[in-house]
A and B are shown apart, each in its own frame.
Chain A
């Protein structure tokens, strides 16, 4: 099956399209800044950037309602920004400062927000998937009509616990959307070298879970798919799988030289399929916005990101007392 493309005349207002542009741009500029701060030694350890994949989380979130939950892996900055977490708090966590969302104790891979129903930020590949099904289990138990977005990559899709979870999620009709962000590389291993069948979403068939492939460079296609999946879950029909075909422009983490693919391959995706450029053209071609309008947005986003970076640099390191807090409730 071909990946879902957005319908010819997409049901989207100029206002919503502008919102998507703004949200995707925020993620991209934020990540570029994070890369810069990493280069300056202000961010340590592992840092996995989301550049290229912005349309996935922004499209998915377009169908989310208040109280819906989300959980993902360690490539998590985009998800946090898309669900409304404060860019300053995220950036300050990256720099390991007191003002970070986890008070500097979690880092890039381990961030959470109870307020925004963001349940991490998990560093063990695949572990967030049963956790996400567990969040959905709690919602079903409480009969509150919420759904959970459990994101994982094409690499994690080969972990055994994913299939244990598929089985139980289907068995118990859990309201969880399994979002496979297929960026085609599990660290340095291309999907065809690691995965026996090309369409990961079909793996739900063995468990009776419907699924489909979605063009992840087209935010409107992702939004449509998200609307369908959330409606399915909210109707009590159990889990749904979306395999969102996307592409990461940067290395797996900051220290990845990315020699497993050609520069041309990356360049081609950037030039021909960039999700932000796509929306930019739709806005301009549809006369929903002028170049000046978009420039103003660019400036606004740049200011937000710069403010976040300043906050992250100025926030002090956590006090040494913090070493000993939050171990037990």
Chain B
């Protein structure tokens, strides 16, 4: 059967082109791979190869013709002893026009946005532990270590890798004692090669393990961010659900003290943006423990943002055998009626201090700790704003594209009628972190700024 040769698309965007030159003539025999013609696109001149063998029966478009639309028949290929007239109207042309998934030709379905807009959102207010549970004092550092140790005891596939996690016992002593208990097979010192070991860990997760990757700080994870986002976060989707990366990337994030611009950045807003990642940023020791245990059990890649300054801070931790905190559930630290203050991680320190001082002045602030930024418990925020009608967010990160600006947009879209004042986002200053003590203090968000913001939204 004679077949039509169609004008090919030679680039992702080509719609038409110039048939610059025929390199075969009628009567020539061609076989697969032979160059038949040169075709000029807007970008380049391309060679066009035969994909079938046969005899060039007829050339339909003369060389030099401009504006030849993709899929126009340009020649007819016949078999030995066949006539050009035998041509079967080639299915391809039709298929090409009908079935080509034309971008944008179909109206997209109404996008299920991050959250619908219920008048009164469902909020999970169950406590994290049963009433009457015995408590013990623990530092955030100890809580993190216990979480890892407990999960490693429970699952052989969980292992820890990172710089100085084993013999040095952790650059910040978070992995203290783990090498002794689990041995060098499961607690692994890596060379200082974040890009490489993050990639190896993602591969190990594809291969069935559940790695915990410690970055000495998240500043260094910028070297590895391609593997975190392009490999860990996107593979489940790109594989149609066949395989993903059940793993945790953890380490200190944000400003420590006097370490300058390259070691003092808050990545909360960066990672929060990525579908496929989950992001936790605990403040208290109980949340550090309960969330890290949940993170290690989660079948998705989790970014776990800790804080060096909080490592040594002590909190009550429930003395339970298997204590976990679910993702996507905010914690209300303090109930109030006049204003909602939303924060997470070390920002909670400023939020809680501000609330204490405001109480002395007769302003009742409700303080919400998001605990996880993806998923984010926006219903808890909306619910609170419906009561207080005012919102201030607090974080150490930069203002443009901040976590607070996202919260602000959600609240405006879903609870606009409940707002009695514009939302104020308290953030770190829009500057690289300076070294000088006085400047550094100024660059960070402060309790006083939170208090001032609250007064502004409450018109005091």
Give the interface of A toward B (CB within 8 A). Answer: 32-33, 35-36, 38-42, 44-46, 51, 69, 71, 95-96, 100-106, 110-114, 119-124, 127, 129-139, 141-142, 160-161, 164-165, 167-168, 171, 249-251, 254-255, 257-259, 263, 270, 313, 317, 320, 323-329
Contact = CB atoms under 8 A, between A and B. Distances in A.
B196 A139 contact: no
A112 B235 contact: yes
Contact of B242 (A113, A129, A165, A254): A113
B112 A324 contact: yes
B101 interface: yes
B239 A120 contact: yes
Find the residue from B46, B49, B241 having the highest chain A CB count within 10 A. B241
B96 A122 contact: no
Given A101-B240, A106-B238, A164-B195, 10 more contacts: A38-B9, A40-B8, A103-B240, A105-B240, A133-B199, A138-B206, A139-B207, A165-B196, A171-B191, A326-B241
Given A106-B239, A130-B227, A257 B45 contact: yes
B45 to A, nearest CB: 6
A50 to B, nearest CB: 14
A141 B209 contact: yes
Given A102-B240, A328-B236, A46 B207 contact: no
A254 B10 contact: yes
B92 A40 contact: yes
A33 B244 CA distance: 31
A124 B96 contact: no
A263 B34 CA distance: 11
A42 B209 CA distance: 38
A130 B8 CA distance: 38
B205 A134 contact: yes
Nearest to A130: B199
23 contacts: A32-B32, A33-B51, A35-B49, A40-B92, A95-B101, A102-B238, A103-B241, A106-B238, A111-B239, A114-B239, A119-B243, A122-B231, A133-B203, A134-B206, A135-B204, A138-B204, A141-B204, A160-B195, A161-B196, A167-B191, A249-B33, A255-B43, A329-B244
A259 B44 contact: yes
Nearest to B205: A134
B202 interface: yes
Contacts of A164: 191, 193, 195-197
A30 B196 CA distance: 34
B437 interface: no
A308 to B, nearest CB: 14
By CB atoms of chain A within 10 A, which of B159, B208, B242 has the most? B242
A313 B93 CA distance: 12
A164 B185 CA distance: 20
Nearest to B203: A134
Contacts of A51: 33
B70 interface: yes
A132 B199 CA distance: 9
A112 B243 contact: yes
Interface string B170-203: 0000000000000001000011010111111111
For the complex of A and B, the 10 pairs showing the least CB-CB separation, nearest first, are: A134-B203, A130-B199, A164-B196, A39-B8, A138-B207, A255-B11, A329-B299, A131-B203, A103-B240, A112-B239
A23 B240 CA distance: 26
Contact of A134 (B6, B95, B195, B204): B204
B275 A127 contact: no
A320 B110 CA distance: 10
Contacts of B48: 39
A142 B10 CA distance: 46
Interface string B69-103: 01100000000000000000000110110011100
